[in-house]
């Protein structure tokens, strides 16, 4: 799965439920001596019978960021925002994203779709290990290959299934719908004719309807798999 698709699907999660924001410093865990680092092993969420720990959320965010940049060799990669602090808003946002990934992953397993090859998982694991091998903060978390492969599999399967849902959504915009939007928003288009905007309007409306469908689907899955926050994050 290409990096552009991964970035888009990560954006889809963030639009509705607050994905981690790698572009800011909010919630970043600075490099500290080992005895001063926060403990990242509390229970923070549950999806069905699966319990999610804060350590897994921290690892998940790093893996997300790493998957977006693996293979980039032309410039030095900044890791600002990759390591989250448990008491930050960025952490809570990624916790929500992680639980959504879990429910989409479970749904993919139930429908026996979006299978990911072992070779792809091994390749991504090797790439991430190579990318992070000199980062002392990452090494201090002591992530095993088994853990890393499990998280990568979950992410790739969830993104693959989400792509399948998007492609099979059947969202089609008729010319009449596009013309109605054009007429209602006439001031935006000035003196230019509808035919000049037909394709762009249909693309915009299609994306809007797709987002609504995905949001409804996410809400259904959250109820189906009894998603809930735990510990200090519990409502």
Nearest to 227 by CA among 97, 45, 93, 66: 45
Token look-up 């000049």 returns: 196
Nearest to 145 by CA among 133, 156, 160, 137: 133
Question: Which residues are bridge partners to 167 per DSSP?
Answer: none
- Summarize pLDDT for 61-100 with one digit per residue, the tens: 999 999 988 876 656 778 888 999 988 999 999 999 999 9
DSSP states of 196-220:
GTHHHHHHHHHHHHHHHHHHHHHHH
- Summarize pLDDT for 103-116 with one digit per residue, the tens: 999 999 988 887 89
State both tokens at 222. 């959250």
What pLDDT score does 45 carry?
93
DSSP states of 24-64:
S-TTB-----GGGSPP---EEEEETTEEEEHHHHHHHHHHH
- Summarize pLDDT for 144-154 with one digit per residue, the tens: 999 999 999 99
What pLDDT score does 14 carry?
52
Nearest to 201 by CA among 213, 226, 183, 223: 183
Sequence-distant (6+) residues with CB within 8 A of 25 are 80, 81
What is the bridge-based pairing of β-strands 43-47 and 228-229? antiparallel
Strand order in the sheet with 50-53: 50-53, 43-47, 228-229
Lowest mean pLDDT among 15-24, 134-143, 173-182: 15-24
Tell me how far apart the alpha carbons of residues 49 and 41 are, in angstroms, rounded to a whole number: 18
pLDDT at 48 over 70: yes
State both tokens at 17. 């439920």
pLDDT at 34 over 50: no
Question: Which residues are bridge partners to 53 per DSSP?
Answer: 43
What pLDDT score does 155 carry?
94
């Amino acid at each position: 799965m290409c990096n552009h698709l991964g970035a888009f699907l990560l954006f889809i999660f963030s639009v509705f439920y607050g994905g981690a924001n790698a572009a800011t410093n909010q919630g970043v865990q600075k490099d500290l001596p080992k005895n001063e680092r926060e403990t990242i092993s509390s229970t923070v969420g549950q999806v069905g019978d699966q319990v999610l720990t804060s350590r897994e959320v921290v690892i998940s965010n790093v893996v997300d960021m790493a998957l977006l940049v693996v293979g980039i060799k032309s410039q030095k990669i900044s890791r600002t925002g990759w390591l989250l602090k448990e008491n930050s808003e960025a952490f809570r946002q990624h916790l929500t994203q992680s639980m959504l990934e879990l429910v989409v992953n479970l749904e993919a397993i139930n429908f026996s779709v979006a299978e990911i090859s072992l070779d792809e998982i091994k390749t991504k694991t090797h790439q991430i290990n190579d990318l992070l091998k000199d980062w002392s903060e990452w090494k201090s978390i002591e992530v095993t290959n088994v853990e890393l492969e499990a998280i990568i599999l979950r992410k790739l399967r969830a993104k693959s299934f989400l792509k399948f849902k998007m492609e099979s959504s059947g969202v089609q915009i008729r010319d009449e719908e596009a013309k109605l939007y054009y007429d209602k928003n006439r001031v935006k288009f000035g003196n230019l004719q509808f035919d000049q905007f037909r394709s762009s309007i249909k693309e915009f409306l299609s994306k809007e309807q797709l987002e609504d469908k995905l949001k409804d689907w996410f809400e259904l899955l959250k109820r189906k798999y009894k998603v809930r926050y735990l510990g200090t994050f519990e409502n």
